[in-house]
């Protein structure tokens, strides 16, 4: 069935806004001997604990210098690759752009099967709400599971790729999408949703793994009166929202990434996203904490019953979210083993939370921050600094909307007792007034990235001691937007970087001990598995995603369509070589029609409309490694007629370019004028004339 969802202009604006976001140490060894993955990597985070930790030791600090490429697989047509692959019984499973599913022979790199959910046919409007990224699959009992962008949850036969069932998990007409990886939990599959920035209401859906039939659904924010879908705990949560929200519904709180199953307790911990819109005085005037946004919530895995919650950011004002991966571990605290959650959300803290009760045990500022002094351990609430909620006008805040840590998974090693966090340092300027061309202005709130402090504009690999709440060591990367981490029992930490390298570090002191030039920036996380008594490391290579929203701050020289996307696999003694690919020397080869006269009014209006293009083509059309091509170089965008035909027809939907039937002829003309003006700006020529006639379609 084709579902039609027509995006509003405000929703498309919100989409673009949403895209924004050493010293030596030997930590205490922990009693968590069952933590991590062994021969197979059967879950997104390795084991059920989501620790991104491998127990394999063949590749270690003494042998890693012999690590080489075993095989590579080019992935034509792929763009942004965020998924952490799975490996089960000799097969690697992963999703690419728009949730295309792959099964690959783990020893040879040969494709066994692919499955395309064809979102562009099923629900074309969903393509407006994301740049097509997908973060992976789940596996259980010979089946693999993944969600398409439009919210369909699929169950496939893992051996053949044959569809076993498909279940719709989103509401028709709502601005809901799915980009995260499902999790499995004793015969059930759970998936969340995205779309908080469009005003969607957050929830998680659990279905039967064999049939796809609904088992239960849990909402993270209260419903509108009369909807009759509130659980008892949401009736209580309603007291933390103002009357305007309760009348309108929505409110955000989507669960688009972090979820961890605790088999010993048969419960699942879900990371709830930001409230939406960001400004609480727009979203919920007169409201309170806005539960359960920006929280970790514990649910009974069998029934979906609420157990407890911990809210990391009450009444969120800065797009802070609890969606990064949730690690479960056992730490020695005060001389006793204690089952905990380790969590580094976007707000810059590293939390240690009691798994049984949800009480925060400690919180350390692991990233650069100025919004809070700390966390009150009696109340669990952050101790916010004054005037940090842009009450008095412009506010500069660290971490910015991209967060101190985002969706790229951190890892935890029981060998060292350290957490390894892929971190960013960049601030954001918030204001209820206007900003520069690189700023977003949505529903009265303007925000834009800023680089002002020492260390801003870089990413870091941070080794953090969660017991002492202290940094053990830190490595600075060249680029801001880097990949997730993998810790191993070989005393190594692997991470891909924005400038195109897969690197290995000594897990104890952070010394770089190995690197490989992958030929393109990496944002996903590596995995490790053993096959035929040999240890392998695999990673997807595909820079992109939120790079479009950060322009020059995430510019590493990569160019859309120039560098191939790949799956790379390494082993000791590997001798394979990568086919040559273009170096990171991005330069704009803008096109121009010198006969075309541009009108300044058209260009100015087109600038505002271009925010609808920003998530894929870049803010201010700065296509710096973005998920879409540079419009200044586009032959289609050179001529008004061909540009209009593309927008209205949707001729390139299969390649990820949405149809924009909502745009009028006048708006298309204005958008075209802005593209042409930016092209001339790149060429260093005059852009517009106040008196030029306006071209007609």
Residues 6+ apart with CB under 8 A from 111: 73, 102, 103, 104, 105
CA distance 579 to 378: 57
Angle at 289 between CA 284 and CA 290, to 5 degrees: 55
Report the greatest alpha carbon distance in the chain. 78
Q: Tell me, what DSSP letter sits at residue 653? A: G
Q: Which two tokens stand for residue 385?
A: 């600094």
Q: Distance from CA of residue 669 to its chain's centroid? A: 33
CB atoms within 10 A of CB 108: 12
Is 450 within 8 Å of 395 (Cβ atoms)?
no
Task: Look at residues 492, 469, 318, 531 and name the one whose alpha carbon lies nearest to residue 413.
Answer: 492
Angle at 439 between CA 83 and CA 551, to 5 degrees: 45
What secondary structure does DSSP assign to 462-508, as a single string? EEEETTTTEEEEEEE-SSSS---EEEETTTEEEEE-TTSEEEEEETT
Task: Look at residues 142, 46, 58, 62 and name the one whose alpha carbon lies nearest to residue 103.
Answer: 142
Whether the upstream peptide bond of residue 446 has omega within 30° of 0, thus cis, is no
Residue with token string 């968590």: 32
Residues 6+ apart with CB under 8 A from 608: none
Task: Look at residues 350, 476, 345, 363 and name the one whose alpha carbon lies nearest to residue 402.
Answer: 345
CA distance 308 to 295: 10
Q: DSSP 3-state assignment of 270?
A: strand
Q: Which two tokens stand for residue 255?
A: 């669960």
Q: Answer yes or no: 319 catalytic.
A: yes
Alpha carbon distances (Å) from 138 to 86, 94, 145, 330, 569? 8, 9, 5, 24, 20
CA distance 554 to 550: 6
Angle at 129 between CA 651 and CA 449, to 5 degrees: 120
CA distance 691 to 305: 65
Is 90 within 8 Å of 103 (Cβ atoms)?
no
For residue 359, which phi and psi values (nearest 5 degrees)?
A: -80, 135
- Among the listed residues 123, 150, 279, 319, the single catalytic one is 319
Q: What are residue 364's DSSP bridge partners?
A: 350
Q: What are residue 191's DSSP bridge partners?
A: 205
Alpha carbon distances (Å) from 408 to 147, 258, 287, 367? 18, 10, 32, 15
Strand order in the sheet with 512-517: 53-54, 485-488, 492-496, 501-506, 512-517
CA distance 148 to 164: 15
Helix (H) or strand (E) holding 181: none
No. of helices (H) and no. of strands (E), the chain: 10, 39
CB atoms within 10 A of CB 146: 29
Is 543 within 8 Å of 518 (Cβ atoms)?
no
Query: In terms of DSSP bridges, do strands 485-488 and 53-54 run parallel, antiparallel, or are they unpaired?
Result: parallel
CA distance 507 to 78: 32
CA distance 598 to 623: 22
Q: Tell me, what DSSP letter sits at residue 177? A: B
Active site positions, annotated = 319
């Amino acid at each position: 069935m084709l579902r039609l969802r027509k995006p509003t202009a405000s929703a498309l604006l919100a989409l673009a806004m949403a895209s924004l976001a050493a010293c030596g140490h030997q930590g205490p060894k922990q009693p968590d001997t069952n933590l991590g993955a062994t021969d197979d990597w059967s879950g997104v985070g390795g084991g059920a604990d989501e620790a991104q930790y491998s127990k394999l030791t063949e590749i270690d600090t003494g042998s890693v210098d012999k690590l080489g490429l075993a095989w590579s697989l080019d992935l034509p047509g792929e763009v942004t690759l965020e998924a952490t692959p799975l490996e089960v019984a000799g097969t690697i499973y992963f999703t690419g752009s728009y949730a295309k599913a792959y099964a690959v022979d783990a020893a040879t790199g040969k494709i066994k099967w692919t499955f395309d959910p064809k979102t562009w046919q099923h629900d074309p409007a969903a393509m407006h709400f994301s740049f097509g990224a997908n973060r992976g699959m789940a596996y259980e009992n010979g089946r693999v599971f993944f969600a398409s962008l439009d919210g369909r949850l699929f169950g496939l036969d893992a051996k053949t790729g044959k569809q076993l069932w498909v279940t719709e998990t989103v509401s028709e007409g709502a601005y809901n999408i799915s980009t995260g990886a499902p999790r499995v939990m004793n015969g059930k599959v759970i998936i969340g949703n995205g779309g908080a920035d469009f005003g969607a209401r957050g929830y998680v859906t659990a279905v039967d793994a064999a049939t796809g039939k609904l088992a239960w659904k849990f909402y993270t924010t209260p419903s509108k009166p009369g909807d009759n879908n509130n659980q008892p705990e949401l009736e209580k949560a309603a007291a933390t929202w103002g009357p305007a929200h309760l009348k309108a519904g929505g409110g955000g709180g989507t669960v688009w990434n972090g979820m961890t199953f605790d088999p010993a307790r048969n419960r699942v911990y879900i990371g709830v996203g930001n409230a939406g819109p960001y400004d609480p005085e727009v979203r919920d005037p007169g409201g309170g904490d806005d539960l359960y946004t920006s929280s970790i919530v514990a649910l009974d895995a069998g029934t979906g019953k609420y157990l407890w919650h911990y809210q990391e950011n009450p009444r969120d004002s800065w797009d802070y979210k609890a969606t990064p991966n949730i690690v479960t571990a056992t730490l020695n605290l005060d001389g006793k083993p204690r089952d905990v959650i380790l969590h580094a959300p976007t707000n810059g803290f590293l939390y240690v939370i009691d798994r049984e009760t949800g009480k925060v045990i400690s919180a350390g500022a692991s990233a650069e921050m100025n919004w809070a002094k700390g966390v009150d351990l009696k109340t669990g609430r952050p101790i916010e600094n004054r005037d940090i909620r842009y009450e008095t006008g412009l506010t500069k805040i660290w971490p910015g909307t991209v967060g101190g840590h985002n969706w790229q998974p951190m890892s935890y090693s029981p060998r060292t007792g350290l957490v390894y966090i892929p971190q960013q340092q960049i601030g954001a300027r918030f204001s209820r007034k206007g900003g520069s061309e690189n700023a977003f202005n949505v529903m009265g709130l303007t925000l834009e990235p800023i680089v002002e402090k020492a260390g801003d504009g870089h990413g870091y690999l941070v080794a953090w001691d969660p017991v002492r709440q202290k940094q053990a060591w830190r490595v600075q990367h060249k680029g801001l937007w880097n990949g997730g981490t993998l810790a191993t029992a070989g005393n190594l930490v692997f991470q891909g970087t924005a400038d195109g390298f897969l690197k290995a570090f000594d897990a104890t002191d952070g010394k770089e001990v190995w690197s490989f030039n992958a030929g393109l920036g990496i944002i996903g996380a590596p995995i490790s598995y053993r096959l035929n008594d040999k240890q392998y490391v695999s990673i997807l290579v595909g820079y992109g995603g939120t790079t479009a929203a950060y322009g020059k701050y995430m510019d590493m020289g990569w160019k859309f369509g120039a560098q191939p996307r790949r799956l790379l696999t390494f082993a000791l003694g590997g001798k394979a070589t990568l086919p040559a690919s273009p170096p990171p020397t991005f330069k704009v080869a803008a096109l121009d029609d010198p006969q075309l006269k541009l009108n300044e009014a058209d260009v100015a209006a087109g600038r505002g409309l271009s925010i609808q293009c920003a998530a894929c083509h870049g803010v201010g059309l700065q296509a710096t490694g973005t998920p879409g091509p540079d419009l200044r170089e586009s032959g289609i965008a050179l001529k008004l007629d061909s540009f209009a035909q593309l927008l209205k027809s949707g001729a390139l939907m299969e390649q990820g370019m949405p149809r924009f039937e909502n745009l009028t002829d006048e708006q298309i003309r204005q958008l075209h004028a802005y593209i042409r003006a930016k092209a001339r700006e790149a060429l260093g020529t005059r852009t517009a004339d106040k008196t030029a006639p306006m071209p007609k379609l």
